[in-house]
Amino acid sequence: MACVEMRGITKRFGAVLANDAVSITVDRGEILSLLGENGSGKSTLVNILAGLYAPDAGTLSIDGRECRFRSPRDAIAAGVGMVHQHFMLVPVLRAWENICLGERAKSPFLQKKAICRKIDGIAKKFGIAINLEKKIYDMSVGEKQTVEIVKMLYRGAQTLILDEPTAVLTPQETETLFAMLRFMRGAGCAIIIITHKLAEVLAISDRITVLRRGRTAGTVRAAEATARSLSAMMVGESISLEIDRPPPRPSEAPMLRVRGLSVTSREGTPLLRSLSFDLSGGELLGVAGLAGNGQKELCEAIAGLQKRFSGSVTFLGEELAGLSPRAIRRRGVCLSFIPEDRLGMGLVGGMSVTDNVLLRGYDLSAGPLVDRARAREAAERIVKKYDIATPTVNHMVRKLSGGNIQKVLLGRELETRPRLLITAYPVRGLDVGASYAIYHLINAQKAAGVAVLFIGEDLDVLLALSDRLLILCEGAAMGIVDPRAVTKEDVGLMMLGRKEAACG
Ligand SMILES: Nc1ncnc2c1ncn2[C@@H]1O[C@H](COP(=O)(O)OP(=O)(O)OP(=O)(O)O)[C@@H](O)[C@H]1O
Ligand SMILES: [Mg+2]
């Protein structure tokens, strides 16, 4: 008897059929991956299992007993817990306080000592390392995720759902999470995980259920699957997993010159240490590094968003220091930074696609009146060109699937026809097909003579796409290498602080 069984689940949102008679099962001691293109219905399905949505049709049973969840509280009472991508933790509280939050409200005299002893017991049972005294705001993304997981286990979850938990993790943090999940599997948990990264799907799952346009395309054993067979199941045809690298045609003089660029935090910690490099038009410079090693500060310094910097940044011979972000943008510098929280930067979830396009400050104003017709036109062009799945351009951005939200963000930036494109994590959360579409778009920008600074997290992609690759560690350049001539291992070592000369 399977621990969790969902049969014939159907769910509509207005005209959208998000789940169409979908069935999955998960056993105790098993890890099931859900795989599928953006908008194929993965989040909807697990949200139903977690009690957030009620299905229109279909049944759900836990340990053979049919359940009807009216809220996440019902789901947790039945042993089903979900770790959300947007963490639901209180930043000023400590780990242990967050973990027992709901429970303490009910019985305020619960002793801290007893609580912590119970949490420690759970952590030990599931092989989890956690610092109970640490405050949430001092934690890395990976640590926060661990608190969320322990919170669910503390409430008695035996089935754990994780919706794209690795999208925001460094490769090391992903490894730690996977080790934890394997341990939990060994301890008898049933685990459902969603990720777009095929290598991760193959590494972590026992079985994989593929969704296609709201329907079950099939379930396979991971041991019998390959990246190729899975991507074919996802889209219904075989797709190429090769990444193009069109030959660079560098402009005569570099477009962007960075010299001795340093950034310090408010507290005086160096975040970027005397960085120097050139970037020509028609060239793609990749930037590799573990998240939080100066990438954000580099982007901000060039785009005029970072005031605490020294050194020089010139674009087409003009010093950018001192110019406003708006003035820099008008010179053709476009920054598209996909944050960990996709709705955090630059998009307003409660507004329509059109209004979000307007927000970017297209030159659409006709005197005192904003030209809505032109904004609408621009939005429709973007939706078509970037293949964004939305009923209309008046649809609220928050209601789109994660991947489609992101395409709105990137499409809107590319439509401003930049001369220097700084793009950070452009495929975060995108499905395989959409990721390749984005690589293609970025290559097209390069071929058209745009200087491209590509900040990425997937080393395979960086090595395949870049003309040159800059490696950052703790804000310093470890070297600029030829991606055709280095090994992945060498780049990995440099990301951890080894200088270029020490490798190879
Ligand atoms: N609350 C909602 N209101 C209206 N439509 C919704 C809502 N939630 C999801 N949808 C729609 O249902 C479909 C399935 O969305 P879902 O979020 O389940 O996809 P997904 O497979 O998780 O995609 P992604 O990989 O991009 O996260 C999409 O077309 C989406 O726009
Ligand atoms: Mg989703």
Ligand 1 residue neighbourhood (C-beta within 6 Å): 13, 16, 18, 36, 38-44, 389, 399-403, 431
pLDDT at position 109, please? 66
Give the position, in ligand 1's atom list, of the atom nearest the Cα of 405: 26
Q: What is the dihedral of CA 163, 405, 431, 285, to 10 degrees?
A: -120
pLDDT at position 346, please? 66
| pLDDT over 80 at 444, yes or no | yes
Across residues 347-359, what is the average pLDDT? 79
- CA separation for the pair 41, 180 (Å, rounded): 27
| pLDDT over 70 at 397, yes or no | yes
Centroid of ligand 2 to alpha carbon of 459 (angstroms): 24
Give the position, in ligand 1's atom list, of the atom nearest the Cα of 164: 27
Distances (CA, A) of 179 to 10, 81, 162, 448, 473: 34, 19, 15, 44, 25
More confident: 166 or 357: 166
Centroid of ligand 1 to alpha carbon of 225 (angstroms): 26
Query: How many C-beta atoms surround the C-beta of residue 406 within 10 A?
Result: 27
Q: Residue 421: pLDDT band by 50, 70, 90 thresholds?
A: very high
Centroid of ligand 2 to alpha carbon of 400 (angstroms): 9
In the block, which residue shows the tokens 């930049």? 418
Give Cβ neighbours of residue 193 (< 8 Å, ≥ 6 apart).
Answer: 31, 32, 33, 34, 161, 162, 165, 181, 204, 205
pLDDT at position 364, please? 45
| pLDDT over 70 at 61, yes or no | yes
Across residues 117-131, what is the average pLDDT? 92
Beta strands in 213-364 (DSSP E): 215-221, 256-264, 270-279, 284-288, 309-315, 318-319, 333-337
Looking only at the bridges linking them, the beta strands covering 365-366 and 369-370 are: antiparallel
Closest to 377 in 3D by CA, of 415, 425, 323, 345: 415
Centroid of ligand 2 to alpha carbon of 18 (angstroms): 11
Across residues 269-292, what is the average pLDDT? 94
**pLDDT, tens digit (0-9, with 9 covering 90-100), for 220-246:** 999 999 998 998 999 887 777 788 899
Q: Residue 479: pLDDT band by 50, 70, 90 thresholds?
A: very high
- CA separation for the pair 113, 288 (Å, rounded): 44
Centroid of ligand 1 to alpha carbon of 208 (angstroms): 20
Half-sphere exposure at residue 168, Cβ-oriented, CA atoms within 13 angstroms: 19
Give the position, in ligand 1's atom list, of the atom nearest the Cα of 19: 14
pLDDT at position 167, please? 79
* Best mutation site among 10, 37, 43, 168 for ligand 1 pocket (most ligand atoms within 8 Å of CB): 43
Closest to 255 in 3D by CA, of 283, 279, 286: 279
pLDDT at position 248, please? 92
Domains and their CATH numbers in the chain: 4-235 (3.40.50.300), 256-332+418-502 (3.40.50.300)
Q: Residue 503: pLDDT band by 50, 70, 90 thresholds?
A: very low
pLDDT at position 504, please? 43
pLDDT at position 288, please? 94
pLDDT at position 25, please? 97
**pLDDT, tens digit (0-9, with 9 covering 90-100), for 331-344:** 999 888 776 655 55
pLDDT at position 417, please? 86
More confident: 352 or 363: 352
**pLDDT, tens digit (0-9, with 9 covering 90-100), for 205-223:** 999 999 999 999 999 999 9
| pLDDT over 90 at 50, yes or no | yes
**pLDDT, tens digit (0-9, with 9 covering 90-100), for 129-176:** 999 999 998 888 889 999 999 999 999 999 999 999 987 777 778 888
**pLDDT, tens digit (0-9, with 9 covering 90-100), for 302-315:** 999 888 889 999 99
Across residues 26-35, what is the average pLDDT? 97
Give Cβ neighbours of residue 163 (< 8 Å, ≥ 6 apart).
Answer: 42, 43, 46, 82, 83, 84, 85, 194
Q: Residue 97: pLDDT band by 50, 70, 90 thresholds?
A: very high
Across residues 482-502, what is the average pLDDT? 84
Q: Residue 502: pLDDT band by 50, 70, 90 thresholds?
A: low
- CA separation for the pair 194, 164 (Å, rounded): 5
Across residues 284-300, what is the average pLDDT? 91
| pLDDT over 80 at 358, yes or no | no
pLDDT at position 140, please? 83
Across residues 387-416, what is the average pLDDT? 83
Mean pLDDT of the chain: 88
**pLDDT, tens digit (0-9, with 9 covering 90-100), for 445-469:** 999 999 999 999 888 899 999 999 9
Is 187 within 8 Å of 157 (Cβ atoms)?
no
Q: Looking at the chain, how many residues does it have?
A: 504
Across residues 169-192, what is the average pLDDT? 90
